[in-house]
Amino acid sequence: MCATNHSIPRVWNQNIPMKEMRIPAAVKKEAAKTADSKSIAWLVYLQEHEGTLLARVFAAKKHRAPRDYGSSRPKYELKLLETMRELIGDNWMITRNIWNNPCGGWCCWFPEEYQIADCDWRTIPTDQRPGVYMRLVNPEAVAKSERFKYCGWRPDTGVPLCSYLNAWLENPGVEYFGKLGLIPKKSLVKKATKDGNFRKWLRTLTPEQRRDANIYGPHATLTAYKLRCEIKNAYNQELDHRQRQNRMRYYAAPIMKWHTAERIEEYLTNERSGHEQSIGASYRDYIDACVYLGLDLKDTKVVFPRDFDRMHDLRIDQMHSQKAKEDRKQRRQLCQDFKKAAEAVKRFEQKTAAFCIIIPTAPADLVREGTALNHCVGRMGYDKKMAEGRDFIAFLRKAENIRAPFVTLEYNLKDKRLQQCYGDHDSRPEAAAQAFAEAWAETVTQILKEEERERRRAEADAAAEEERQRIARKEATA
């Protein structure tokens, strides 16, 4: 029934009988009357089991049989299969692993030939019981049961039996709801326990209103009691409120913690009266600007300005000005970090008779290099990577013309290897330049590895010296 529970290979509660049982004659008779070829008919049969009731659920459907050539009407045969078992008062139920869920609806398929065995059953929690309407075949079993004969449930009310009996076992007070024909939801039971006027109001409901309470749920019922209106109207109001919240959340999500969706919609409606188009998108930009500027969103003067057009332009300009300041500050810091990182690897510059290696000292050097060679070193965050010390960029130039961009190198400091080596339009450099770049990268790798070994030896010596001093201090105080 549920894909997440079908993987459970055993029954958690051994109180539920696993043994195959005969299909009762009452079930066969009811299935023959109610089943059709278009949908599944669900039937529940109750029987006594160890002092409680065992609910056996059957799925029935009529399948078209092969047509005889001498007959003009198609023949149908009844398929009847037990699919679930639930022990009233237990949190687990068992089901056969023959469920599927096409188009979001519950249904049951009947294989041509299936072997009935204990391993066909799987365990699921009772709160994952499928939401299908089930017809009770023998409602008189409830009144005959010693345990449930005073539960207050009536078959003509439409209250789901299994969930009602489980709720009654937890709280016998739900008998009040059973007699009224109401589904005993926890919020309604809690309200009825504390509020006597709510119990009186429930008794005044007509059968149609009680049916609406079961259909539209406890929240609509409580709202109808609070507002003294029809349950269906309360549900429609709740639905409108949720839809309005979803619409307003698109425009003004940051302020919905302090201001209602109705208030926001009222403001947008009034402001829209003087505009040809909706101001929703502009209002969203305005709220984003207020958030960026750190303004108090609880203040109605901030979120609902009188002159929206003027305040919108003002806040947007303030946001852009502040962003420009922050960008300049970040750029200044980036240049400082870049320069510091360049000085740390400046020692890897090299010059020979044919080629030389130059380390850039500013992000602007990367931009000029990328523009001249038509590749992305001036973009794509290479300046940030170098400033953070993850990689560093080096320029390979010809010794005869050291100022002309030729090949750009990227060395990975984490992996200690040459990561990229490209010339104009991301082309591979000539063989001599490639060999020079690889030899230079090998030299850099050896230097970095030797420095790392020296650092580790120094750290080990420092730790040993610290341990020696600690032991000396301990012996001195002993």
Q: What is the DSSP letter of 123?
A: E
In a shared domain, residues 270 and 349 = no
Q: Chain centroid to CA 205: how far?
A: 40
In a shared domain, residues 268 and 306 = yes
Domain-terminating residue out of 191, 206, 229:
229
222 inside domain: yes
336 inside domain: no
**What pLDDT was estimated at residue 457?**
92
**What pLDDT was estimated at residue 331?**
87
CB-side neighbour CA atoms (13 Å) of 438: 8
This prediction's pTM: 0.53
Residues 6+ away with beta carbon under 8 Å from 315: 286, 289, 290, 293
Taking CB atoms within 8 Å and a gap of at least 24, the contacts of 182-188 are 182/157, 182/210, 182/213, 182/214, 183/159, 183/213, 183/214, 184/159, 185/217, 185/218, 187/218, 187/219, 187/222, 188/218, 188/221, 188/222
**What pLDDT was estimated at residue 65?**
66
Number of domains in the chain: 4
In a shared domain, residues 169 and 213 = yes
Domain-terminating residue out of 104, 136, 168:
136
Q: For residue 467, what are its two tokens?
A: 């341990």
Domain-terminating residue out of 106, 136, 166:
136
Residues 6+ away with beta carbon under 8 Å from 169: 88, 89
334 inside domain: no
70 inside domain: yes
Cα–Cα distance measured from residue 349 to residue 447, given in angstroms and rounded to the nearest whole number: 13
Residue among 47, 210, 21, 19 nearest 136 (CA): 47
**What pLDDT was estimated at residue 249?**
82
In a shared domain, residues 214 and 245 = no
In a shared domain, residues 248 and 295 = yes
84 inside domain: yes
Look at the block and give the residue holding tokens 């539920």.
Answer: 16
Q: Show the domain range for 404.
A: 345-459
267 inside domain: yes
In a shared domain, residues 77 and 110 = yes
In a shared domain, residues 450 and 430 = yes
Residue among 43, 25, 23 nearest 34 (CA): 43
Cα–Cα distance measured from residue 473 to residue 478, given in angstroms and rounded to the nearest whole number: 9
**What pLDDT was estimated at residue 274?**
52
Low-confidence ranges of the chain (pLDDT < 70): 1-14, 65-74, 97-120, 131, 271-278
164 and 183 in contact (C-beta within 8 Å)?
yes
CATH of the domain at 355: 3.40.630
Residues 6+ away with beta carbon under 8 Å from 273: none
**What pLDDT was estimated at residue 97?**
59
1 inside domain: no
**What pLDDT was estimated at residue 14?**
66
Burial class (CB in 10 A: 0-12, 13-18, 19+), 475: exposed
In a shared domain, residues 311 and 389 = no
Q: What is the DSSP letter of 401?
A: B
Phi, psi of 418 (to 5 degrees): -80, 115
In a shared domain, residues 290 and 369 = no
In a shared domain, residues 29 and 90 = yes
129 inside domain: yes
Residues 6+ away with beta carbon under 8 Å from 162: 44, 55, 86, 88, 126, 129
Cα–Cα distance measured from residue 432 to residue 149, given in angstroms and rounded to the nearest whole number: 97
